[in-house]
Amino acid sequence: MGTENRNEKSQELDLLDVDEIIRLMNEETADALEAVEVESESIENLITAIIEQNADRIIYAGAGTSGRLGVLDASECPPTFNTDPDEFIGLIAGGDRALRFAVEGAEDSEALGESDVLDLGVGPRDCVIGIAASGRTPYVKGVLKAAGKAGALTGGISNNKGSEVSRLADYPVEVASGPEILTGSTRLKSGTAQKLVLNMISTIINIKRGKVYGNYMVDVNPSNWKLERRAINMIREITGADEHAAQDALSASGRRVKTAVLMIMLDVDREQAESLLSDQPDIRKVLTTDKG
C-alpha cells in the first residue's frame, strides 16, 4: 500500500534540521492537495448522490485518525450551519473513549462496525461514508457491509487505489496521497487529504440545502460573542441596515440570521418570516420569489 511505503525523500528524517523538515512537510502537503484535485470527479459523484437522495443523515465511520476526523467534521456542522445534531454523525471504532485513547482491537473488528450501524437504525434514507487511509480497516468494512444490507447509500474515502473499502462503497473516493514522511503515520498528509474531502462533503451539502447566502453562513448559531458579532455583521452587510437595526432584528428574530434578514428586507414580522422559511429554507429563493 502506498500509505505504508517508505518515503524516499525522508529516509534520513532524524538528521534534518527543523527548517528542512518544515519544507519537506509543506511539499508533502502540496502533494496531498494535488491528490484531492485528481479525485474531484469521484468527490462530485458522492456529493451529488447525497444531495439527490436528500439523505436524512450523513454518517461518517472510521478508526483512529480517520474516525476522529469524521467526528470532528460532524461536530462542526451544528454550530456552523445550525444542523440537527443527528443530521451529521461521526462513528469511531471504540466509541467516544477512542477520541482520546487507543482502544485495543476496536479497529480490527468487523462485528463492532456492524453493531454500531445496527444501533443507529441505519436505513435507506441514510448515507454512510467509511473512512480508512489503508482502505482495509475491518471496522470500516463492517460498517459498510451492514449499511449496504440496510439499503443505505454508501461512500468510501481511502488513500490507496483499488481498496477493499472502495469495493464496498457505492461511491468510492480514493485519494492516493502516497507514503508519509514518517513511515505509516497516516495522521499526516493522508489525514489532511481526508479532512479536505470531508470539508467538501459537509460544506457543499449545507450550501445546497439553503444554509448559505452568497458566502455567508446564514444559519450560524450565535452561541457566543464572536458568533453573535458575525451574525450582526452578516445582517448589516446583506440588508444594508445599520448596527442598531441589525441588533434589534437579530433579537426580534429569536437570534436567527435568516429570519432577521427577511424581516428587514421584506418588512415583515418574525412570524411571517418564519412562515416563508418553513416553505423555503433558501433565503435567496424567498427573496427572488417575493421580487417576482
Span 143-193, pLDDT tens digits = 999 999 999 999 999 999 999 999 999 999 999 998 888 988 889 999 999
Fold of 225-291: Helicase, Ruva Protein; domain 3 (1.10.8)
Q: Is the pTM of the predicted complex or chain greater than 0.75?
A: yes
- Residue 292: is its pLDDT beyond 70? no
Q: What's the rounded Cα separation, in Å, for the pair 176 and 32?
A: 8
- The count of residues in the chain is 292
Q: What is the pLDDT of residue 33?
A: 95
| Residue 3 pLDDT level (bands cut at 50, 70, 90) | confident
Q: What's the rounded Cα separation, in Å, for the pair 10 and 29?
A: 14
Q: What is the pLDDT of residues 219-249, one digit of tens each?
A: 998 989 999 999 999 999 999 999 999 999 9
Active-site pick, 44, 76, 228, 274 = 76
Active-site pick, 39, 87, 107, 180 = 107
The cell for 108 is 480490527
Residue 107 designated active-site: yes
- Residue 291: is its pLDDT beyond 70? no
Phi, psi of 35 (to 5 degrees): -65, -35
Residue 87 designated active-site: no
Tell me the average pLDDT across 17-22.
Answer: 96
The CATH class given to the 2-210 domain equals alpha beta
Q: What is the pLDDT of residue 290?
A: 65
Would you list the domain boundaries of the chain?
Answer: 2-210, 225-291
